[in-house]
A and B are shown apart, each in its own frame.
Chain A
Amino acid sequence: MLKAIVQREILEYLKSSKFLIGLCLTVVLVGISTFINIGDYQQRQQDYLDAKQSLKGKSIIIEIFRKPQILSTLVQGKDRELGSRIRITYWSLPNQTSGYMGEYASQHQRYVSGFASVDFAFVVRVVLSLMVIFLAYNSISEERTQGTLKLTLANPLSRGQLLFGKLLGGLFVVLGSLTIATLIAVLVMVLHPAISLDRELSLRVLGMWGVSALYLGTFFTLSLMVSTIINRPSVALLVLLQIWIVVIVIYPNVSVILSQHLMGLPGSEELADRRRAIFEPYEQEYNETTKAFIKMVESGEQNEEICIKNVEVSAKRTELYHQVDNEYSHQMTHQMHLARNIAIFSPSVLYNSVMQRLARTDIQESDKFMEGVERYWHKVVEKSRLRYRDLEAFKKSTFQEFTYTTQSTAESIARTLPQWSILFLLSVVFFVAAHTVFMRKDIG
């Protein structure tokens, strides 16, 4: 009997125009956005390869480039926004990457920053979640209104089995739609010469499918619960839409505003004061050395001692300033975590954070890159000392290529387990609530 219910549900969903419209919109949006995002990725990847190839010689100004992430074609996240280049020297260690043109000239990206990115994650988060609501809002209430609920339950079928059958049938259709959307995205990627999906990336895409399924499952069980509680289908839809707009639009926005107000960040004046204070003990020495160094450069004579001293004090200054920047960076991270914690019950926020982590387009990936840059900077300072101490040895020495540790797929999944668990828990709670209400429900 359960099998018959599942089959009937699947057939009804498949025949409905709302399913067809939703699926068409999803397929078109996923296909177009993935194709356009691949073009963007291809351009950034080409820029990255060109930039890496152009690195020649042993300059004291080192440029490090951040590789664009392949899966940014599915989840843009912060990948593009954060820029691709960082320029370090013994006297400078910025705390974030910029565009290829440097911090100021690369500001032109701001003209198009106001337009939200459309990608696979966006389509699932917004369009598919709405389609799920449209599919499930009347699954119990309409049957009750039409009287078929009473008829169905006249068969040897328990209420629990019926609800479970509806869940299975609905999930089959929803996950089927999600699978089609994922396959379209993967197909566009695989057919494009710029993309090669290896085993690790495929696993990550699989993980994305998994969390998308869980996210849509949450909306399905929520709709099922509302449909069980509210008798009139149109009222159930109204309630679900209001929940949707709160969960997708209002709650994440409010969480950011609240976190910004609950945990203020220091302004530029305060940061400048902190830098001044931390460097104060060394300032006099720095000023004297800098003066001597400038005098030396203007005179055209090389003084090894002044040069090395200049490297030492400049590096000290940079290191101390970077300590302040790091502290500020941690405060930013705390503020971001606070926003996420406030929005912990928004499936949309949970989903976004897992998707970005899996696509490696989240802020943690950028933080790992910056940690690598900081480690590399110490090597740059060492090389700069060598340059003035022993030019021949410096010329003979090789510069180790910049690397940083990225998260493995297993680590990414492990780190996002709390979000997976909350999404799962929400689904279970919604289904249990639907079950409890349905067991006591007057079926008319």
Chain B
Amino acid sequence: MITIIKREILEHLQSLQFIILIVLSILLFSMNGWVSVKKHREQMTRYSDGVMGIAQNPSTVQTSLYMHPNPLVLLADGGSKYQPPGYSLAPKGKLTPLPAGPKNFKMPFVPELDWAFIIKVVFSLYVLLLAFRGISGEKEIGTLRLVLSNVLRRNQLLIAKYISIILTTGIPLILGGLVSLCIVSILLPQALSLTLIPRIGLMLLLAFFYLSIFAFLGLFVSALVGRSSVVLLILLSVWILFVVVVPNVSGILSNKLTSVPSEYQTARQVGPMLQEQVWARIDKVKERIKRGELTTDEAVKKETDKAFEEGQEDVRNHFAVYENAMKRRANAARNLSRLSPTALFQFASESLADTGPRREERFLKDAKAYSSIYDSYILQKVGQLIGTSLFSFSTSITVNEKYFHISSPRPQEYEGDKSDFPHFVESSPNLPHNMQEAFLDLAGLSLWNLILAMLAFWAISRCDVR
């Protein structure tokens, strides 16, 4: 069997597609390293400036919580360009995404050139190109019969072919990965720490696990169908389905399968809601003034502040309904796309790299935990908690024939010593937890591997070698 593996590897190494794969791999992984360095530098500058700004000017009105830039976006970006760099936190736990800063929205949409993209698109195709002639090619030139006339069993031949494909693909993959890591560690030595090595190693293992699906698929179809060109056509059709069609179509299918309230209607309901929740309450305060129940400025201010504050809560909840519906739609799209091993690999990579929506969820959990500490600090320093909203209101009221301007309450800035201002510390990523997140995706990939391996063994056992 070792002889077969050696022969296969030698043949693959001499093939045109292997040379092209090596060149492409080095080119793409170099670009990945280069782009990641630039992106990480920009993110770190922004993060350091933001954190330093908070340390220098801590505020009881509002503070900003920044997500620590993750150098492992080079493995799987996880849609970082759509994620905010952090959240602003106002009293009472009001979290608002920070603006992402200027970006060129005129540029065409292109996927991020991360490891996950290179592996899921380029390497998966090349595995098929290496595998499609595995059995059918030998059958066409008659060597399959010769090989099997030795003591070698069919299963052993399949295993040898499988191992040789994986090992051959491993060379450009590991080489490319090393090039990318070298670029990052030379240009940005502080970004890659030793603690990240297990994640990078696991990412490589995951890549092999994913590529193994395509190796089994290639060998299965190659053993099942006699003509190499037909094998290639079938494999490419499946590849398009897995890599292009399913992940993209799931986005538009989720539009049909999930209902999201109209954005305009959601926005439109805000006006009447404010009218009902804020201004109706203010009118009641005015009536109480007329009835003589409220006679001092302080009493009126207290009541109007309460009216403004309570009224805005409903508006916040109203926006949350729309946001949650959008999140459900995104989850539906992700779940639908899980039919494809490519999507399973993508999501498992994001979990391993600790990027993507789950990373943001974890950050938000930390932010919510911090918000209670922040609120306690404000209560201790200022004495009262006032939330903020997207809307501010002002009107005038006459109390005892005296004109009185009122506006929605604003949190107060504590002017004293703020050296004890609580610092936000984001919980560090935990590899076992990330692995647990990736469990379902890994199970899906295992299932694909198992099914296709069984099919490949079944096909070769029934293959007519003549």
Contacts and interface: CB of A to CB of B under 8 A. Distances in A.
A203 interface: no
A170 interface: no
Interface stretch (A232-240, A306-314, A423-431): A232-240
Interface size class of B (residues with CB under 8 A): 35 or more
A116 B248 contact: yes
A335 B102 contact: no
Contacts of B17: 238, 242
B400 to A, nearest CB: 15
Contact of B16 (A46, A48, A238, A249): A238
Contact of A118 (B83, B129, B248, B326): B248
A100 B263 contact: yes
The number of chain A residues touching the other chain, given as a range, is 35 or more
Interface stretch (B55-63, B198-206, B237-245, B380-388): B237-245
Interface string B15-52: 01100100010001001001100100010000000000
Interface stretch (B64-72, B227-235, B278-286, B435-443): B227-235
B327 interface: yes
Interface of B is mostly: helix
B264 A266 contact: no
Interface stretch (A105-113, A146-154, A205-213, A432-440): A105-113
Nearest to A333: B106
Interface stretch (B108-116, B291-299, B419-427): B108-116
A278 interface: no
Contact of B110 (A37, A115, A252): A252
Contact of B108 (A107, A252, A300): A252
B302 interface: no
B10 interface: no
A317 B389 CA distance: 26
B466 interface: no
Given A43-B262, A46-B262, A335 B107 contact: yes
A116 B255 contact: no
Interface string A327-338: 010001101100
B38 A261 contact: yes
Contact of A105 (B20, B232, B390): B390
A102 B105 contact: no
Given A18-B233, A50-B268, A118 B251 contact: yes
B236 interface: yes
Interface in B113-162: 113, 121-122, 125, 129, 133
A271 B266 contact: no
B252 A118 contact: yes
Interface in B178-234: 228-229, 232-233
Given A234-B133, A237-B232, A300 B28 contact: no
B266 A101 contact: yes
A250 B79 contact: no
A326 interface: no
A92 to B, nearest CB: 15
Contacts of B111: 116, 253
Contacts of A23: none
Contacts of B416: none
Contact of A107 (B97, B254, B333): B97
Interface string B321-337: 01100110110010001
Nearest to B244: A126
A84 B262 CA distance: 13
Given A265-B102, A300-B396, A110 B82 contact: yes
17 contacts: A33-B249, A33-B252, A40-B255, A50-B268, A101-B267, A103-B99, A112-B254, A115-B248, A115-B252, A116-B251, A130-B240, A237-B232, A253-B110, A260-B107, A261-B34, A267-B102, A335-B104
Given A105-B267, A126-B244, A298-B405, 16 more contacts: A33-B249, A33-B252, A39-B255, A100-B267, A104-B96, A106-B263, A108-B322, A112-B329, A117-B252, A118-B252, A134-B233, A234-B228, A249-B121, A260-B104, A271-B102, A333-B106
